[in-house]
Amino acid sequence: MSRPRLGFLGTGWIGRHRMAALAATGLAEIVAVAEPDDNGAAEALALAPNARRVDGLDALLREDIDAVVIATPSAAHAEQSIAALEAGKAVFCQKPLGRTGPEVAEVVEAARRADRLLGVDLSYRQTAAMGAIRPLLDAGALGHVFGVDVTFHNAWGPDKSWFYDPKLSGGGCVVDLGVHLIDLALWSLGWPEVTGVESRLYAKGAPLADPSVQVEDYAVATLDLAGGTVVRLACSWGLQAGREAVIAVEFFGTEGGASLRNVNGSFYDLRAERHHHIRAEALAEPPDEWGGRAAVDWLARLSREARFDDEARHLVTVARVIDRIYGR
């Protein structure tokens, strides 16, 4: 598939950002856009002037396209992804792919049945910072990694009301931010089995009483991994953090350490370091335009091979860990 034909479902800010990144590669033809908001659609068509606007997913799937890029509210992700896959289209979807482990498993199974490539926007994998750290882990340069701390505090929190409705979102800061952290920890270590999960969830400073009717805005969790490694997770919305965001992925090994940390509270500027006891060695520094890189990676793979990639099974692995954090 030398130049895939793409349709976009949802072109709000993040959908347009991913569209711009994909269009800039020259690897695809953007054919159609389905977006109910007139302003969002107009801005998308300015990025892809040869595309046409269509009315909804069904109309999009009737277009002559090879793949669908989905950037809609979370509640619709699984159903829309399955519909696209069953229509024979490859899919790139915003996270989370589904609100629960069973929803994600249904999407992955649909991709397997359709034999179509499935990608999810787990974008932190593609940062220059993680690109510098992952080879150290693969080569065993840090020795036995016995501890991993992963943190994502968003001092603002989402600005759309559906994020705060668990029926629509699937949960709060864990499913929104923790999905990145869990994915990074397990992916970096080669997908070890998660043997135990303990968690504490809070809403407005009090323990979360019922996650089926309220979402958490602060969460801590401990993941025990096969081989003895422990992962400590913390994430939040609206925390009194003293800066816009606190983002960190830190690896502690018997022969050294490594970290990804955001710079000056930025959501985008990330630094990687290798740690030699009390000395730090810089591995990667901002700026790094990484936001659309996961989508571009998916498109490059799609251009070579549109068939199912079994690595998608790990999307289910992460979703099941999230379910265990929620106690469901």
The pLDDT tens digits along the chain (328 residues) read 679 999 999 999 999 999 999 999 999 999 999 999 999 999 999 999 999 999 999 999 999 999 999 999 999 999 999 999 999 999 999 999 999 999 999 999 999 999 999 999 999 999 999 999 999 999 999 999 999 999 999 999 999 999 999 999 999 999 999 999 999 999 999 999 999 999 999 999 999 999 889 999 999 999 999 999 999 999 999 999 999 999 999 999 999 999 999 999 999 999 999 999 999 999 999 999 999 999 999 999 999 999 999 999 999 999 999 999 999 9
- Asked whether the bond before 287 is cis by omega within 30 degrees of 0, the reply is yes
* CATH T-level fold of 128-288: Dihydrodipicolinate Reductase; domain 2 (3.30.360)
Q: Which of 258, 252, 275 is nearest to 133 (CA)?
A: 258
With respect to CATH, is domain 5-123+292-310 assigned 2.40.30.10? no
Give every CB contact of residue 194 below 8 A, 6+ residues apart in sequence: 186, 223, 224, 225, 226, 317, 321, 324
Instruction: Compute CA 193 distance to the chain's CA centroid, rounded to the nearest angstrom.
Output: 20
8 within 8 A of 34, measured Cβ to Cβ: yes
- The span from the CA of 77 to the CA of 19, in Å, is 18
Instruction: Give domain limits for the chain.
Output: 5-123+292-310, 128-288
pTM of the model: 0.96
Same fold, 5-123+292-310 and 128-288: no
